[in-house]
Amino acid sequence: MKFEYTDYHIHSKWSHDIKEFGPSFENYLDIAEKNEINICFLDHYELYYIENDETYPFYDGKIEQYLDEIDKVKASYDFVLSGLEVDYYTDYKIKLREFMDDYGKDFDFIAGTIHETDIGLPVTNRDKLVELLGKKGVKQVVNNFFELSEEMIRSQIFQNICHLDTIFRYINIRDLVPTFDTDVSDERVLNLGRLCIKNNTSIEYNLSGLKFPIKRPFPSKSVITQLKREGAKIFVGSDSHSINYFRTSISKVKKAYKFLKKIDKKRSSRNT
């Protein structure tokens, strides 16, 4: 790649959670080039909606059009990577494996992710999460998230995993306060990370939590530090859904890489 650092998590208008006139691939190029950062587009790819919702951007085989468009951009700009943020669902395990067999090689970077433990109620949408909490209670919602995450990592369908503990975007002491018997410990997130290390799966340091009341990345700085010390492979993502947010994230992404690099040094200096 052209530049030293890469923001691995950029959404374009191909993502369903971006407004109709949202950013195209091209809209990001100037800013990325001026600020000397590589960008990897990681648009949402959710098999359930691709099969069932005709308004979903990738409905009905539009992935071919996506590849045509992104490959054209890549041919002219050597700081762009093609990728997808692919949702994991238990019932789609076989289809996900088939998808990776069919398309894994056509993209530079595919990352597995969990937004929904119950279809239609993403834990990353506050209103939908409140609806889910009304049905299941917070302890079970958090447990389900961690159980499904573990299942996704163990499946080894993905070599990269996004935002390990995004369940805490809204469930935390500053927002939707968990009950005392809900396990929200760092240890729980560390154990997911350790499973990734064991499987040689890369872990995202996702900076998007900084814009929510929790005001910390996913996972937290202390958890990512510990995982790095234990040998984790880490990629950094801003999770940008707009040009302005991307612009303000660039310095944070670079800072995060520099911070992670220093942890490496500590490890190697201790070992010598």
Q: Which residues bind Zn ion (CB under 5 A)?
A: 85, 113, 239
Tell me how far, at minimum, the Cβ of 99 lies from Zn ion, in Å.
Answer: 18
| CA angle, residues 253, 194, 157, in degrees to nearest 5 | 80
Tell me how far, at minimum, the Cβ of 240 lies from Zn ion, in Å.
Answer: 9
Query: Per the omega criterion (within 30 degrees of 0), is the bond before 213 cis?
Result: no
Query: Per the omega criterion (within 30 degrees of 0), is the bond before 217 cis?
Result: no
CB under 8 Å to 191, separation ≥6 — which residues? Answer: none
Looking at the Cβ atoms of 46 and 85, the one nearer to Zn ion is: 85
Tell me how far, at minimum, the Cβ of 110 lies from Zn ion, in Å.
Answer: 13
The Cα diameter of the chain in Å comes to 58
Query: Can you read off the two tokens belonging to residue 109?
Result: 């970077």
Q: Angle formed by the axes of helices 138-155 and 126-136, to 10°?
A: 110
Tell me how far, at minimum, the Cβ of 121 lies from Zn ion, in Å.
Answer: 15
Tell me how far, at minimum, the Cβ of 268 lies from Zn ion, in Å.
Answer: 32
Looking at the Cβ atoms of 18 and 263, the one nearer to Zn ion is: 18
The residue nearest Zn ion at its CB is 239
Secondary structure percentages of the chain, helix, strand, coil, to 5 = 50, 15, 35
Query: Can you read off the two tokens belonging to residue 175?
Result: 């927002």
Looking at the Cβ atoms of 169 and 231, the one nearer to Zn ion is: 169
Looking at the Cβ atoms of 137 and 175, the one nearer to Zn ion is: 175
Q: Sign of dihedral through CA atoms 155, 116, 246, 40?
A: positive
Looking at the Cβ atoms of 85 and 165, the one nearer to Zn ion is: 85
